[in-house]
Amino acid sequence: MSYSNSNNALPIIHALWIGDTLGQISVACLSSFVKQGHKVHLHAYTSISDVPNGIDVCDANLIIPKEKIIKHEATGSYALFSDIFRYELLRQVDGVYVDCDVFCLKPVVLPEHGYLFGYEDDNKINGAILALPKDSKLLAQLISISHDPSFIPPWYGNKTKRRLAFKKSIGLTKHISKMPWGAIGPEAISYYAKQYQVAHLAQSIDVFYPVHYDCIGHLLNARLSIKDIITPDTVCIHLYNEKLRNIDLAHLNQNCILNNILNQQ
């Protein structure tokens, strides 16, 4: 589909950070949107020591109070809460939500229909770059399930759904914080986008997710350049920071893609 909009005004980019230090990858990613001409609002609950120039820090409590932050019970990850936060943010403010591991190559343009998301593979729509109309059924549904502590994903198999429904009926619910990664994120976005017949509005894989989650090692290959992993339609690259957590950023090959990204080359 065509990635265009007659309105030349660029949307505000919104991001969430929980903690007091962004780190190199997030600093580079947030700065990349500024360099492409966007205003960037970083929503945070505490002061952050390494906010790059050009970033406006906003009080995340205005979207969701700090007391409502939740972690995934098994991993301690805030990914679940970030899903909840982005839906509520899109209900309250204008603009585009991005994760802090999304690197921008071109200005992000919001289509006239108001939906901005993309496929990360042939079947799944990711929400690392996300905008939805405030009055859309999709956003309303995502907000609804994110506030349901015992949400039962309808894409689960019938046997699993019956088992969870029975437990729910006798008060033995599985809290949302115990659900698998993506249960109210990409899995939910993908399912409900199809249910509400807006999945066709999702951008193709190469626009936001040119490097697959399982191929993120390409970013460390010194024989590859950014041009080798993108197409003319690529706007952003999702770096999947969780796959890079154990990489020593201080000793990257100077010719690899990730090193060039960190140094904005």
pLDDT, one tens digit per residue, over 21-65 is: 999 999 999 999 999 999 999 999 999 999 999 999 999 999 999
Domain segments of the chain: what residues? 13-262
pLDDT at position 152 is 80
pLDDT at position 265 is 57
**Residue 186 near residue 102, CB atoms below 8 Å:** no
- Report the percentage of the chain scoring pLDDT > 90: 76
Task: State both tokens at 37.
Answer: 């001409």
CA angle (33 as vertex; 257, 19 as ends), nearest 5: 85
Residue with tokens 């201080």: 250
- Report the percentage of the chain scoring pLDDT > 70: 89
Dihedral, CA of residue 215, residue 218, residue 224 and residue 226, to nearest 10: 80
| pLDDT class of 159 with cuts at 50, 70, 90 | confident
- SS3 at position 211: coil
Nearest to 203 by CA among 106, 97, 111, 91: 111
Mean pLDDT of 179-200: 90
pLDDT at position 4 is 43
Domain 13-262 classified CATH 3.90.550?
yes
What is the per-residue burial (b if ≥16 Cβ within 10 Å, else e) of 50-88?
ebbeebeebebeebbeeeebeebeeeeebebbbbbbbbb
Residue 15 has pLDDT above 80, yes or no: yes
Dihedral, CA of residue 209, residue 146, residue 73 and residue 214, to nearest 10: -10
pLDDT at position 162 is 80
pTM over 0.85: yes
Residue 3 has pLDDT above 60, yes or no: no
| pLDDT class of 6 with cuts at 50, 70, 90 | very low
**Residue 118 near residue 193, CB atoms below 8 Å:** no
